[in-house]
Amino acid sequence: MSAPEDSDRLVQGTSNDAAISRESAARLGYIADPFIQHFVRHPQRRAPLINRGTFTRFQGVQKTLRQFLRYTSQNQQQHQTQNQVVILGSGLDTSYFLLAKDNIRAKRYFEIDFAEINAKKAATIYKKPDMRRLLPADTKVAAGGCELHSEEYCLLSGDLRLFAQDIVPRLLEHGFDTSAPTLFVSECVLIYLDPQHSDSIIDWITESVANAAILTYEQILPSDRFGQMMIENLRARGLELRGLMAYPSLESTRDRFLSRGWVSAAAIDLSDYHKKAIPQSELSRLARIEFLDEWEEFSLLAKHYAFTLAHTTHSKSFASIKLI
Amino acid sequence: MVLDIDKCIAQLYNGELLAESQVQSLCLQVRPILANESNVVPLSAPVTVVGDVHGQYHDVLEIFAIGGQCPDTNYLFLGDYVDRGNHSVETISLLCCLKLRYPQRIHLLRGNHESRNITKTYGFYTECTTKYGGSAVVWREFTDLFDYLALAVVIEDSVFCVHGGLSPSVSHIDQLRVLDRFGEIPHEGPLADILWSDPDPDIQGFGRSQRGAGYTFGAQVVDRFLHNNGMSHILRAHQLCMDGFLVQFNDRLSTVWSAPNYCYRCGNIASVLQVDPYLKRDFITFTAAPTSPHKPAPLQSTDPSSYFI
């Protein structure tokens, strides 16, 4: 069994894998992300079904982010817009820059991950003018290069297992407003935590953030043959999907929030999302990029991933944010 | 060069790749054997029918272990020898060697992955250039050879075997017989259709396929085809089956899938289909091959990138 430090290192490694997948999809033209290439030293071309899945996942996350920022801006006076985004386990994600490039900015945007990953991210951002110029003018490097601070954008280092003790104080210190409408995003992050740790984060949000929404993208269905093989294969690489048995289904991922009094929770697997949310014109465009031959396999793989979108209050803004 | 075919087969069973020159000689000698076969090859039973194997070499060896070694057992492979798995080169090399050695005991049909374009995207090209020091010669030799593979088989005038399925352009098998098959798989038309189509029990006629090539076809199409051609059953592959096989349309059509734990991740069972002299059909299921100290270990796809979509 690997030591805890090894285990952390392996989980951190998944941010590199995710970046490589994203870069593959971007380079082939599935998605528009001019920044991800800066984070990938050794690009690899992923299999067509992985590119297709990366595209689908990207659509879900970007659409939700943009809807959140649009609706929370619309429903407030311009000069009073208060909205916040918190990316849990941000890895090498480029969403902040994709939004900034389109002149879309939250009042506050927080990214949280381990110091080791943030150090690499911050250094790369500073090295690349196309990202650096999108940073707020008051951005400062901090914590020996592992953090970036500004009024609008903060890259913070911490351990999500110590969310309340370690990360919350840092968020508050950097201007997090518990009364502002806030979208939390977790893409294949909470799943690596023991349920007690991931539930603690959700409990804190429930108790402390008046108007919260959350989008998670995590694995589901551990018990069928594919799920069993997935668990086994990842375990052989030292990766444990610690949260999977606790929240193994669409129903349980919804219930996770509904049982805490959140007013709404919707969940959809990636296969269904691909079928229902991606317009035919996009599907035709993708088919021209790469012929996807293995539909059964794509469907099987995609059924084992789910988006869950939940919110705590009945605000008009939140009700307008929909997965499909 | 003079090819010692038994030595080549032994080499492959021992986990050794053929040299580039051996592959060139092999393909040169197999080509006329394939070229002399009709588009639709008549076969007698008994025969063991194998579906997609996709470069899962150790599972191909397992098939021979459980189904009987060639030439003791007659084999019909329905295509898709390469791509996706990590040992496409060994797989196609062995099957071609066996074809050269026992031309009447093993028959190889073309699948939709026996194509230059598809193999550039789905792994065979990359595997060839990786295993042969950056050279694409082996890939070119095999993809040229693929142009000569037969399109279909009829077992005892009764069982129609093809990789994918049926075509709106082919109501009678004679229409397949007259095609010029010696070239790359076209994007559309009867040759493309029979390698790309899929059955759909929810429809009656032909439908649009989400694969982007071929069609879906339903019950009425199956019945009409069997009736027009005086056949009793359609055997095909092409689609992953979690249980190794799938029988549809009131036992008028079967899919056989022979790559267990496909891509080292799907967790599925595989099967081969034994057709006895009385045309009785028996699916033999099997799981992924155990590793053996005497054979090179199959590469497990424990690469997380297989999952973080």
Which member of B87, B107, B113, B233 is catalytic?
Answer: B113
Quick check: helix, strand or coil at residue B2? coil
DSSP A137-203: TT-EEEGGGTEEE-SSEEEEE--GGGIIIIIHHHHHHTT--TTS-EEEEEES-GGGS-HHHHHHHHH
Is A230–B305 a contact, with Cβ atoms under 8 angstroms apart?
A: no
DSSP, residue by residue, A5-51: HHHHHHHHHHHHHHHHHHHHHHHHTSS--SSGGGG-SS--PPPHHHH
A300 pLDDT more than 60: yes
> pLDDT tens, A138-148?
999 999 999 99
Write out residues 89-148 of B within 8 Å (CB-CB) of A.
112-113, 117-118, 121-123
Question: What is the average pLDDT across B289-296?
Answer: 51
Q: What tokens appear for A100 in the block?
A: 């900034």
Residues in chain B closer than 8 A to A46 (CB atoms): 305
Q: For residue A316, is pLDDT > 90? A: no
DSSP 8-class letter at B11: H
Residues 6+ apart with CB under 8 A from A213: A68, A181, A182, A183, A184, A309, A310, A311, A312, A318, A321
Q: Is the pLDDT of residue A5 over 80?
A: no
Question: What is the distance in angstroms between the Cα of A241 and the nearest Cα belonging to chain B?
Answer: 12
Beta carbons of A237 and B264 less than 8 Å apart: no
What is the C-alpha separation between B57 and B16, in angstroms, rounded? 12
pLDDT over 50 at B299, yes or no: no
Whole-number percent of chain B with pLDDT over 90: 89
Fold of A3-319: Rossmann fold (3.40.50)
Q: Is B267's CB within 8 Å of A225's CB?
A: yes
* B309 in contact with chain A, both atoms CB, cutoff 8 A: yes
Pairing outcome for strands A108-113 and A153-157: parallel
- pLDDT (average), residues A114-123: 96
**What average pLDDT does this structure show over A200-215?**
97
CB within 8 Å: A291 and B118: yes
Least confident segment among A106-115, A228-237, A239-248: A228-237
Question: pLDDT tier at B295 (50, 70, 90 boundaries)?
Answer: very low
Over range A264-291, report the average pLDDT: 95
Segment A160-202, tens digit of pLDDT? 999 999 999 999 999 999 999 999 999 999 999 999 999 999 9
**Residue B278 contacts by C-beta under 8 Å, 6 or more apart in sequence?**
B45
pTM recorded for the entire structure = 0.91
pLDDT at B297: 40
Show Cβ contacts of residue A63 under 8 Å, excluding neighbours closer than 6 positions.
Answer: A277
The count of CB pairs under 8 A between chains A and B is 94
A295–B211 C-beta distance less than 8 A = yes
Averaged over A6-34, what is the pLDDT?
A: 93
Q: What is the ipTM of this complex?
A: 0.85
pLDDT at B137: 98
Helix, strand, or coil (residue A91): coil
Instruction: State what percent of residues in chain A have pLDDT above 90.
Output: 84
- Residue B4: C-alpha distances to residues B1, B22, B97, B101 (Å): 9, 9, 10, 10
Q: Where are the domains of chain A?
A: 3-319
Q: Is B238 a catalytic residue?
A: no
CA distance B175 to B268: 36
CA B126 to CA B151: how far, in whole Å? 26
At B308 the pLDDT is 72
* Interval A28-35 mean pLDDT: 98
pLDDT of residue B212: 84
- Per-residue pLDDT of B17-57, as tens digits, reads 999 999 999 999 999 999 999 999 999 999 999 999 999 99
Average the pLDDT over B81-94 and give the result.
96
- CB contacts, 8 Å: B118 with chain A: 291, 293
Nearest to B266 among A50, A226, A237 (CB): A226
* C-alpha distance from residue B41 to each of B163, B164, B192, B231 (Å): 13, 16, 18, 15
Query: Is A228 in contact with B306 (Cβ distance < 8 A)?
Result: no
What pLDDT score does A1 carry? 45
